[in-house]
A = this chain, B = another copy of it.
Amino acid sequence: MQRILLASRPEGEPTAANFRLDSATTPVAHAGEVLCEVIWLSLDPYMRGRMDAAASYADPVPIGGVMEGGTVCRVIASQAPGFDPGDIVESRLGWQTHGLATADQLRKLDPTIAPVQTALGILGMPGFTAWIGLTEHAQPKAGECLVVSAATGAVGSVVGQLAKKLGMRVVGVAGGTEKCQYAVDVLGFDACVDHRAHNDARALGEAIAEACPNGVDIYFENVGGKTLQAVVPKMNVGGRIPVCGMISWYNGQAQSDISMSLDTATALPRIWRNILVKRLSVRGYIITDHYARFGEFLREVAPLVKNGELHYRESITEGLEAAPAAFLGLLRGENFGKQLVRVAN
């Protein structure tokens, strides 16, 4: 079997040298264990945080440890009741070709609902993250306007589509004309603003204001940086900001700020003043706190995926050894849709 280890901790933007491809003996399932072959590996922005030694909401990956990650797998051998060879399961085996899990670490998938890799995307953690952010924090109301950043990503695309179904005006922010076109044409957003076409937060803010003539009621935050500073001044009284991620700041917090032309020294006071004057509600959340509601999410969203009402798009990289490069691309926004690695067929 093969696996990818964290070779060293990155300083700022990670490089291929932070990862190491390693071979190991395929383990054997003992009593209570299931041996799985990884078919799909999910790549997600949160993994950047696990590469740092700094305390966060989850423990870091140790140096020399297997990189963490969600996987869809095929059962090869089972010493646990309820699992048989050939079963397709979701688990968190990480960046490797094979792994062991106990029954409580596995979720059997029904391949008739949708392709099984959706358990890592629209019907898995990212889709659930979108649904929880809307359901628990955003208070979506028909007729109001929602702006979502990283709009064609695994989370943002679901946020926007669910908000459309609730009767909201939905405006995406994405990088590049192709992604923006997709957000409008396929995902059904009302508009999508290309942040690459606007050099600074002020210009981006004007474009957002144009797309949201009645102001912004919900800003679904995935990115931080320039987009955050563009959207917040356009928010209405009583606006809500679920803070789900801040990918533009994951590689060292100052970089993207310094590169934008707004005066960085006033960035915090400006946001803070908007929070006060507009009575905004800003709330961070981490999806692992919310899994008690995963069943409810699946019951609501799986039928919409099965009948084609919700769209999703995948960015597929072939082979475990290509995972580091794909992950580095994800951090730069080079993926288009849910980033997956096909580890086996």
CB-based contact A269/B224 at 8 Å: yes
Q: How far is the CA of A281 from the CA of B137 in the complex (A)?
A: 10
CB-based contact A257/B265 at 8 Å: yes
Chain B CB count within 10 A is highest, among A56, A246, A284, A285, for A284
Shortest Cβ distance from A256 into B: residue: B269
CB-based contact A254/B243 at 8 Å: no
| Interface set, chain A 43-61, CB cutoff 8 A to B | 56-57
Asked if A342 is at the interface of the complex by the 8 Å CB criterion, the answer is no
CB-based contact A266/B279 at 8 Å: no
Chain B CB count within 10 A is highest, among A237, A265, A268, for A268
Asked if A289 is at the interface of the complex by the 8 Å CB criterion, the answer is yes
CB-based contact A254/B280 at 8 Å: no
CB-based contact B265/A254 at 8 Å: yes
| Interface set, chain A 123-150, CB cutoff 8 A to B | none
Q: How far is the CA of A98 from the CA of B258 in the complex (A)?
A: 53
- Chain B residue contacts of A228, Cβ below 8 A: 268, 272
- Chain B residue contacts of A243, Cβ below 8 A: 272, 275-276
Q: How far is the CB of A283 from chain B (nearest CB, A)?
A: 5
Chain A 180-201 near chain B by CB (<8 Å), digits 1 or 0: 0000000000000000000000
CB-based contact B277/A286 at 8 Å: yes
CB-based contact B279/A284 at 8 Å: yes
- Chain B residue contacts of A275, Cβ below 8 A: 243, 282-284
CB-based contact B279/A283 at 8 Å: yes
Once A254-B265, A266-B253, A266-B254 are accepted as A-B contacts, the answer to whether A278 and B272 lie under 8 Å apart by CB is no
